[in-house]
Structure 1
Amino acid sequence: MQDHAYYSEAYRRWLTGRALSPQTIKLYTGVLRRAWEDLGDLTRVSEDDLGKWINSYRGSTRYTYVAALMSVFDWLDIVGHRGVHPLRRVDPRERIKRPQRPRSRPRPFSPEEEELVLRSAVGQIRIWLLLALRQGLRRHEIAQIRGDDFVDNQLRVDGKGQKVAWLPVHPEIAVIAQEMPVSGWWFPSATSGTGHITPDWVGNQVGTLLKLNGLSGSIHRGRHTFGTTLLRNGVNPRVVQELMRHDNLETTMRYLEVIEDEKAKAISGLGSLPSAA
């Protein structure tokens, strides 16, 4: 019987062949290893034990683990290592239900927090933050940015799911680009294996900076700030959707949920009916 390391590597190769992003591959293989360590041989685990393990998690973690395990057992089924898929039973009454994705509320920086963070950031960390705040980039998009991605005041972004988008370059980023390499990686690394720094490195460095300033969260708060500020400035939500590269408008509209003060201001600003002549 093979151990989880054998299956993990074979599964990783299968995911790579399907052109999934490195982040998704790392996440899914990590879930395989954790489930194997907790439950034992996944080619033999019972649906009851798997269901109890899944139900021990809550929120976004549970959602992510189920999504990953759906893929894991699909692969085990395809390669013939497991005859019955425990998450895709024929009878829907017996099937382990996939939880709905929790609706998380964005956490943009306040203007004061943004000023504090940018004032304390130096070097590459400041550039990373500005790429999130002014262009709405995710950490993996920041890590792999290249000088060649800037063409005629447009920025090429390799986003989620290998989707490519072109964004107008913010003036602050245009100034930074003049000081950065015109070709090749902006943030090279000799040890990462990809030639550029890793998304985890970006996230860890910015996370540490936030903690030093008494703030919680991650660099993704910069992207939250990007979307929320656009909406606050009255930009058409469809335009915001395109700039944030969301697949659907519903995802973009979630950024409106944080503008509670503007809701109150809108209501209080309504005038009374004119008096009768």
Structure 2
Amino acid sequence: MPITHLDEYELWQAARRLAHNTISERRRVLTQFFRETSVQPAHADPLIITRWIAEHDTWADSTIANYVGYLNAWFKWLQAHDHRADNPMVKVGTPKAPTRLPRPLSGRDVQKLLSAPTRMSTHAMILLAALQGLRVHEIAKIRTEDIDLDRQTLRVKGKGKKPAELPLHPIVGEWSRRMPDRGWWFPSRHYPSEHVQAKSVSRTISDQMRRTGVTGTPHQLRHFFATQLLADGADIYTVRDLLRHQNVATTAIYAQLPDEVRRDAIDRLDPWQSVPRLHGAA
């Protein structure tokens, strides 16, 4: 039995230009809810939703927060389109979002990834993640035309297809000479006129991490990028700009200030440098 209103909901999301991953994840969660409760998601009441969440005691706090967000978006849409009068999530409540900490790969791990033998395209993916801070879906869509070697810039389309122009890292610029003369850097194997999917980029980098004994995820290369910028003296607002975040709070999740930088800041703290010594003070 199909889920009531789901096709209409997906069409609305696509028209709003929501990310494909967002649409597919919302469908997956609604499908899982329907399969496990035998209740049409459009007709679910607060008790059923709460019980469904409570039964999955192995879910991480972040998973629960995401799923509650997906359900809330679903019921708000149902209300806005006159498919339902109330939003049961008001009674379910919003779980406290878990505290997220930066989790960058270490410089040694990144060196291992870049030093290990691999395909030219895989190496390029790792460079774009570690030295340009690109997300996997941004890496998938890189074209030779996005590289301007004269101006040393890189054009990318980020979340919501928002364009940005970034400074080109010299190593990425040099590596670009080995990539195709035009078109996609990473064309689809089955459809060469199209680029690979983001999950293909993620899988390719993950496989290389596994081969080299590096523990982590491809997204942690973006955390490395942010952390290394901060460690090398870039201020948090510059890091935010290069990551293309809307606010510094999000950037703080990515950039981990190294212990030696924090220690140096404490060691250099001297009240007598900024405040004139009081007359007659010992």
**Cα offset, 1:248, TM superposition:** 0.4
Q: What corresponds to 1:78 in structure 2?
A: 80
State the TM-score, normalizing by the size of structure 1.
0.86
Q: Is the 8 A contact 1:121 1:209 kept in 2?
A: no
Q: What corresponds to 1:59 in structure 2?
A: 61
CA 179–208 in structure 1, closer or farther in 2 if over 3 Å, else same: closer
Distance 1:110 1:226 in 2: 10
Percentage identity across aligned positions?
Answer: 33
1:109-148 matches, within 5 Å, as 109-123=105-119, 124-148=121-145
Q: Give the residue type in structure 1 aligned to 2:201.
A: V
State the TM-score, normalizing by the size of structure 2.
0.85
Instruction: Give the match's secondary structure for 2:185.
Output: coil
1:115-194 matches, within 5 Å, as 115-123=111-119, 124-151=121-148, 152-191=151-190
Q: Is the 8 A contact 1:149 1:157 kept in 2?
A: yes
Instruction: Give the match's secondary structure for 1:105.
Output: coil
Pick one of 12, 16, 19 that aligns with 2:17. 19
Q: Is the 8 A contact 1:105 1:258 kept in 2?
A: no
**Cα offset, 1:264, TM superposition:** 2.9
**Cα offset, 1:269, TM superposition:** 5.5
Worse-matched range after superposition: 132-141 or 179-188: 179-188
Instruction: Give the match's secondary structure for 1:167.
Output: strand
Gaps of 5+ in 2: 273-280
Measured against aligned partners, the alpha-carbon deviations of 1:133-174 in whole angstroms (never above 9, x if no partner) come to: 110000010011122222442211111122211101111111
Note if 1:204 corresponds to 2:200: no
Q: What corresponds to 2:98 in structure 1?
A: 102
Q: Give the residue type in structure 2 aligned to 1:18.
A: R
**Cα offset, 1:198, TM superposition:** 1.0
Distance 1:114 1:21 in 2: 29
Q: What corresponds to 1:92 in structure 2?
A: none
**Cα offset, 1:53, TM superposition:** 2.1
Distance 1:193 1:117 in 2: 27
Instruction: Give the match's secondary structure for 2:22.
Output: helix
Q: Is the 8 A contact 1:238 1:249 kept in 2?
A: yes
User: RMSD over aligned Cα, in angstroms?
Assistant: 2.6
**Cα offset, 1:233, TM superposition:** 0.5
Gaps of 5+ in 1: 89-94
Instruction: Give the match's secondary structure for 1:101.
Output: coil
Distance 1:253 1:234 in 2: 15
Measured against aligned partners, the alpha-carbon deviations of 1:221-263 in whole angstroms (never above 9, x if no partner) come to: 1111111010001012211110110110122234454523432
CA 202–42 in structure 1, closer or farther in 2 if over 3 Å, else same: same
Measured against aligned partners, the alpha-carbon deviations of 1:3-43 in whole angstroms (never above 9, x if no partner) come to: 23x64433221210111111211222222211221222112
Q: Is the 8 A contact 1:156 1:167 kept in 2?
A: yes
Q: Is the 8 A contact 2:230 2:257 kept in 1?
A: no
Distance 1:21 1:157 in 2: 16
Distance 2:109 2:80 in 1: 50
Q: What corresponds to 1:226 in structure 2?
A: 225
Q: Is the 8 A contact 1:77 1:84 kept in 2?
A: yes
Number of equivalences:
268
**Cα offset, 1:218, TM superposition:** 1.0
Q: Is the 8 A contact 2:136 2:219 kept in 1?
A: yes
Q: Is the 8 A contact 1:131 1:142 kept in 2?
A: yes
CA 209–8 in structure 1, closer or farther in 2 if over 3 Å, else same: farther
